Amino acid sequence: MTRTETLSESLEDYLETIFLLIREKAVARSRDIAERLKVSRPSVTGALQALAERALVNYEPYGHVTLTPAGEVEAKRVVRRHGVLKDFMVKVLSIGEAEADATACRMEHAVSKNVVDRLVEFAEFVETCPRAGAKWVHGFGYRCQEAAADPSQQSCERCIEQCLTDVKKRKQKGNKTIASATLKDLKPGERGQIERLLGGGPVKRRIADMGVIKGSLVEVVRVAPLGDPIDIKIKGYHLSLRKEEAAGIAVSRLPEK
């Protein structure tokens, strides 16, 4: 597919669904795609033929659907946009999961990579900055509710003082608040900040290619029953790492919110 062959919103939805089904069930079938998208089987057949013509999927009638290398790249791009938009609305705007997911579906097709990257950076700032964390999100609005109720801005001064106190307490507690570990040590749902990438190899290059640097947030999504592989999310990307690869990524474990 050339850069000029832009996919329609509908075909992007099909690619995203195929990618998610493969990740969840190891295979994607026409009937599962139809059920997930709430469309008819003939509609699925037509969409798969269109994607196959663009060399994005491998498709044979009555067989499993797989993504070509180009299709996987395109699908990951779509999935990342959706995930970043949903996470931003849930974590930063305090919107419910269902509403955020539905809204992300409508927004994802028109958002550029630059906007997605900036949303990721802002969401990470809000999650980690002591002056822009849970308290600010809890009272989210176009301006702070406490400041709006106090024209003298004394509440702002008290808030800043409290933030400084909280930072000092965190430093004093040290590892009791934020424990150093490797990515292998995190459980599903746990998050951490990257401290450094140990060693080298393709995993380090893959992560570096995404612009990941020290301080980037990483979340463990799921771990296979035998502990291998480990599915992580970082900057909106989903990566599957082997246990030994995850052991080479040093992180600071973040406390649960």
pLDDT tens digits, 81-134: 888 888 888 878 888 889 998 898 888 877 887 888 888 878 777 766 655 555
pTM: 0.60
Residue 188: asked if its preceding bond is cis (omega within 30°), the reply is no
- Residue 48 banded pLDDT, cuts 50, 70, 90: very high
- Residue 142 banded pLDDT, cuts 50, 70, 90: very low
With beta carbons less than 8 A apart as the criterion, state whether 56 and 66 touch. Answer: no
**77-91, 154-168, 189-203: lowest mean pLDDT where?**
154-168
Cα within 13 Å of Cα(207), Cβ side: 25
With beta carbons less than 8 A apart as the criterion, state whether 210 and 197 touch. Answer: no
Q: Work out the mean pLDDT of the chain and round it to a whole number.
A: 77
Q: Where in the chain is the domain with CATH 1.10.10.10?
A: 8-110
Residue 176: predicted pLDDT: 43
Residue 218: predicted pLDDT: 86
Task: Indicate the fold that domain 8-110 takes in CATH.
Answer: Arc Repressor Mutant, subunit A (1.10.10)
What is the Cα–Cα distance from 109 to 74, expressed in whole angstroms? 12
Q: Where in the chain is the domain with CATH 2.30.30.90?
A: 179-253
**Interacting residues of 86 by C-beta distance below 8 A, sequence separation 6+:** 97, 100, 101, 104
**pLDDT at residue 61 above 70?**
yes
Residue 8: predicted pLDDT: 86
- Residue 222 banded pLDDT, cuts 50, 70, 90: confident
Residues for the chain: how many in total?
A: 257
CATH for the 179-253 domain, from 2.30.30.90, 3.30.420.40, 1.50.10.20, 3.90.79.10: 2.30.30.90
